Structure 1
């Protein structure tokens, strides 16, 4: 795998103009691709953007660039699922998992106080569990985790083994959570989608793995959340550079 040349293919789509001019975020996504598969990757991301439940975009950008760094390969986080009957129960489970991961209870509540304020961000916020404040400088853009993927054949083996659906959504979420959790400064991640038709979210950490929670918001709610809880972050810029620039493949088992 390392001997092949790979490309990072990225897409962003919005309505009422580009994101930086106030457009509503519709969809984003990315794949790592060989040159021979670029057309397939572009078409996959195009289809994702024009069939999204948040609406029809009137702005879209798809770009690719060659990766010039060694691509890391890491195992996916172990996964668990918490079936809940209400948003309140789901959020209670999320708070409990965050505490188990090492986030102090008072810092969890401080983060939740800011969730509504950051619900329209395209990326994640970095939340310092010592100061109780957001420490990235990305305003409405947030931090976008990038240059990561999971070969479909290998993901499908994993999904079949754990009796999970072969869902691109599950694949993308687990890839992102795995990359974020791998960094030593990451304590935990809290996420639920801005897709109004998808109400499952998760808490992830190195200690807990990827813990799906079946209801973290009401159906029809377009407000999302992605918070990276960090501790001991002496170099914010290198951390963001890892999230945005370090190429990474998730690989389950011994497949090449």
Structure 2
């Protein structure tokens, strides 16, 4: 009887040294005998090293542990590398936005939350996949179970123009990503949770971003936010499609 192919969680645990010695030994023997499996593990080690360099910039607030912490946050830690292809080419450029020369304000965040809630409360939150305006781009989150359903190119946050992209999941999830131009350089990435509200903010030197959701699994939201932040800061890099295709941990249903 052939053993089942090791899944992503098992390979991640192996890379992190979390397996007990007998299991690690069995998996190591299998890896040495399987060239494709060996490449996947090598890629995971490479991604782990790359993501570790981002760690000091990441602040996650009030994301609870659910079950063994190591297994939960392995996909979160690797997300910046593993979902690059899932998100597609996130290059939102060529838009005539004024620049914002300060960090994202509380007012801008409040307005983003209001716009998200307004969209969710309307029938268009259940609309078919949206068409992007000419000259603009938005990330593809289909592999994470989210479909682009709404694009609002004339949103305003903190008195400045912004673009809002709304995503709909099959299990009740609604996610809004906001973008506005900036020339301030890099800004620390933070994720905050307050009751049923999740939000994230970051900047990549050209744009500032706000991500908003309600009642989304908190680990799932943090993972998607981290990947989006990494993608906006590392545009143009190739991704290992074979590894990315195995990541299915960002599909938890929403809670409401």
Structure with greater proportional helix content: 2
- State the TM-score, normalized to the length of structure 2: 0.25
- State the TM-score, normalized to the length of structure 1: 0.25
